[in-house]
């Protein structure tokens, strides 16, 4: 049976430095009713819509960056690469929830996107899954000053600021569910003491599709990813891996 065609998507890892310890990441818990990654702790993001291609510039991946910014506004009410006050942001978010086009809303408000606020981090492209598959570009972004995100209460039921290691520990205690790509990304993010270090690290590695594969080791199947892309852990036993 062939895999479904991959759906282009974008996700943003919003990071804030604490000054007294590891940086914190903004994560959301998806509603258990969602078909994809229901109940999982993930980063904000979603599919790239046709309208996202209307707001393009010199970036080859411009539509993905636009989608990451739009989805972050919709899901958590946080503006990345966008200079607007709280009232304007609330109106923009409400209009997006009502289905109004992002490009039109920005034009009417006289707002422009700074796509350089997003730093490419990774690209994940699974295959061989019986359900929908996402071709997802991951980005890093620094949390805006005074950020006060709010969960949307529909696709996501709660949000939290948490360190990468904190999220991994919560999953190991059974207090959170992490799908395979999220766990690998958290292990990578746990290496950094701040946003600048994470950004410098990300720029040292190529953004190539990461497609997990199964490898038998001593009679045990492991779900693996390629080496050389910045990930400190590249394999997990299949019977322990959580696939969306």
So what's the pLDDT on residue 153? 67
The domains of the chain are located at: 7-205
Q: So what's the pLDDT on residue 130?
A: 56
Token pair 């892309």 is found at 229
Task: Choose among 21, 37, 2: nearest CA to 136.
Answer: 37
At residue 33, does pLDDT exceed 80?
A: no
**Tokens 């990304």 map to which residue?**
185
Q: At residue 39, does pLDDT exceed 90?
A: no
Spatial CA neighbour of 142 closest among 209, 60, 72? 72
Q: Higher-confidence residue: 119 or 85?
A: 119
pLDDT of residue 148: 87
**Architecture, CATH, for domain 7-205:** Alpha-Beta Complex (3.90)
pLDDT at 155: 75
Is 153 or 160 the better-scoring residue by pLDDT? 160
What percent of the chain shows pLDDT beyond 90?
76
pLDDT band of 129, cuts 50, 70, 90: low
Could you read off the pLDDT of 68-99 as tens digits, one per residue?
A: 999 999 999 999 999 988 899 999 999 999 99
Average pLDDT over the chain, rounded to whole?
A: 90
pTM reported for the whole predicted model: 0.92
Calculate mean pLDDT across residues 179-203: 97
95/93 Cα distance (integer angstroms): 5
Whether residue 242 has pLDDT greater than 60: yes
Bridge partners for 9 per DSSP: 47, 136
């Amino acid at each position: 049976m062939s895999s479904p065609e991959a759906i282009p998507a974008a996700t943003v890892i919003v990071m804030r430095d604490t000054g007294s310890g590891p940086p914190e990441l903004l994560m959301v818990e998806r509603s258990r009713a969602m078909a994809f990654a229901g109940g999982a702790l993930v980063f904000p993001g979603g599919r790239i819509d046709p309208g996202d291609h209307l707001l393009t510039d010199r970036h080859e991946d411009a539509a993905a960056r636009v989608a990451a910014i739009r989805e972050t506004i919709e899901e958590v009410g946080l503006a990345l690469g966008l200079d607007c006050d709280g009232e304007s942001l609330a109106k923009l978010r409400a209009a997006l929830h009502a289905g109004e086009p992002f490009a039109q809303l920005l034009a009417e408000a006289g707002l422009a996107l700074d796509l350089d606020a997003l730093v490419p981090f990774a690209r994940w492209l699974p295959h061989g899954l019986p359900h929908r598959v996402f071709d997802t570009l991951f980005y890093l972004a620094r949390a805006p000053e005074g950020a006060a995100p709010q969960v949307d209460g529909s696709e996501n039921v709660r949000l939290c600021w948490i360190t990468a290691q904190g999220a991994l520990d919560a999953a190991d205690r059974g207090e959170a569910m992490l799908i395979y790509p999220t766990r690998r990304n958290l292990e990578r993010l746990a290496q950094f003491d701040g946003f600048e270090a994470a950004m410098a690290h990300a720029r040292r590695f190529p953004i190539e599709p990461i497609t997990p594969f199964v490898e038998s080791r001593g009679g045990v199947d492991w779900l693996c990813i390629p080496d050389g892309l910045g990930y400190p852990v590249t394999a997990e036993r299949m019977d322990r891996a959580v696939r969306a």
